[in-house]
A and B are shown apart, each in its own frame.
Chain A
């Protein structure tokens, strides 16, 4: 009998320890980045472009570039994702076709980000001759986050009670109007939270934009979607591996990392908070 409880306690200990390890990794990591990065953050750092071959100055073009790329990605992925999800959840009958589409979504979700980068290079930059620019990068990122959006939208659509659909259809309202007036409005908060998570993902990705959108350095700000941009994640990579000035720019590196992490995690946190709020206050 003692042995049974000893085993149990040992197990509980190990399990708690692993959860603790994860929490501490995140906490320690954030603390470290915060402490080291905070010194770099200033109004100038956030609003000025880099100077002296990026050893001084700010990161404003990279922040702006990330905002452009991410907005572009969500503009592309949101409608496609929502429409796909509506088909899968509202129209499709269970069968081989839906099975294959779902498999496709899952497989797309698993494609490595560097492969998305190659794909964007091959299709948008080379074949369609957009060149390396905001448009190519936003399209690549948009396709990358498409499965995230589809998944979140499907979950949101599933959470709309079946009785709402029946009530509307039972009144003699067409399926399309039912979806438009009842299903989508009720799923909207969930869809939006999912999209916010997609935005967070897009903002942090580096590999897909390395060959499709990111400039090592551009002093001028983009004037059209056919311009190259700097982007925060790529800027971190460039500074950290630049070779000649690595030690000199440490402060800027930490600052950029802090801005990037702060941006991405606050986006995620917003989504998480909204989601738990929606779940709690759900009236049905």
Chain B
């Protein structure tokens, strides 16, 4: 079903996922190609966020969850008992649906992570802030107010601070869970542009409810329904000529 070459960075193999007794994902096998944007779409509650959070073990934080199967990142199952989830999350960063800056200055938001992994040198930190904010195309807007609280910024700017904050950890993969759903159209456009830019250096996996968005920015798209991966294909193919009728029904708006 999937036509990707073998430069995959992450793969899930026969994943089943449970919240207590509730099975949220059934037998999901999926490969994510390096330096591409992969979009996950599907109706509400189908398990998109669950899958995304599974990829950097954020689901560990919820009591009573259970995973079966493997998530392979760099030839290692990240659910092996000797794997440190903290390490995994450093390599696989995450941007959340609602912008969630810390109530700190912009500068300290971005240096929060690097400082904790031992970057102490002030000029190094300053360079990192500039670089990350540039990557998040926010530098010009905030370079004079780095000392101000990030909570004062607009929603779109906050979300870009969060992206810059994630980038400052120099991850390989960036997971984004509906990063624009809380934003206005202009901020959304900016972030979409940004994603286009970022895929040169990062692998991006993005959950979205907005099918135009998926079509615009992603290279591959996976369609989920009731915890199952129904179809996974090149975005162009999936949106113009889907193989499964359920997919067609969804993208043409016949259900959802």
Size bracket, chain B contacts: 20 to 34
Q: How far is the CA of A173 from the CA of B84 in the complex (A)?
A: 11
Query: Which of B26-34, B71-79, B88-96, B136-144 lies at the interface with chain A?
Result: B88-96
Is A164 an interface residue, CB under 8 A from the partner? yes
Q: How far is the CA of A182 from the CA of B113 in the complex (A)?
A: 11
Is B218 an interface residue, CB under 8 A from the partner? no
Q: How far is the CA of A167 from the CA of B159 in the complex (A)?
A: 12
Given the interface pairs A94-B63, A167-B162, A177-B116, the reply to whether A172 lies near B89 with Cβ below 8 Å is yes
- The 8 Å CB contact of B112, one of A163, A169, A171, is A171
Given the interface pairs A163-B100, A166-B61, the reply to whether A172 lies near B112 with Cβ below 8 Å is no
Chain A interface SS verdict (over half):
helix
- The residue in chain B whose Cβ has the minimal distance to the Cβ of A176 is B86
Q: What residues of B have a CB within 8 angstroms of the CB of A284 in the complex?
A: 103, 151
Q: What residues of B have a CB within 8 angstroms of the CB of A167 in the complex?
A: 96, 100-102, 162, 165
Q: What residues of B have a CB within 8 angstroms of the CB of A283 in the complex?
A: 103, 149, 151
- The 8 Å CB contact of A171, one of B61, B64, B89, B149, is B89
Q: What residues of A have a CB within 8 angstroms of the CB of B166 in the complex?
A: 170-171
Q: Across the interface, do A172 and B63 meet the contact criterion of CB distance under 8 Å?
A: no
Q: What residues of B have a CB within 8 angstroms of the CB of A177 in the complex?
A: 116
Is A99 an interface residue, CB under 8 A from the partner? no
Q: Across the interface, do B96 and A172 meet the contact criterion of CB distance under 8 Å?
A: no
What's the count of A-B pairs with C-beta under 8 Å?
Answer: 71
Q: How far is the CA of A171 from the CA of B61 in the complex (A)?
A: 14
**A106: min CB distance to chain B, Å:** 22
Q: What residues of B have a CB within 8 angstroms of the CB of A172 in the complex?
A: 86-91, 93, 113, 117, 169, 171
- The residue in chain A whose Cβ has the minimal distance to the Cβ of B103 is A283
**B47: min CB distance to chain A, Å:** 18
Q: Across the interface, do A93 and B100 meet the contact criterion of CB distance under 8 Å?
A: no
**A179: min CB distance to chain B, Å:** 12
Q: How far is the CA of A163 from the CA of B98 in the complex (A)?
A: 8
Is B247 an interface residue, CB under 8 A from the partner? no
- The residue in chain B whose Cβ has the minimal distance to the Cβ of A95 is B63
Q: Across the interface, do A173 and B100 meet the contact criterion of CB distance under 8 Å?
A: no
Knowing that A163-B100, A171-B112, A182-B102 touch, tell me 15 more A-B residue pairs with CB under 8 angstroms: A163-B98, A164-B102, A166-B58, A167-B162, A168-B113, A169-B58, A169-B61, A170-B166, A171-B89, A171-B93, A171-B165, A172-B93, A181-B112, A186-B103, A283-B149
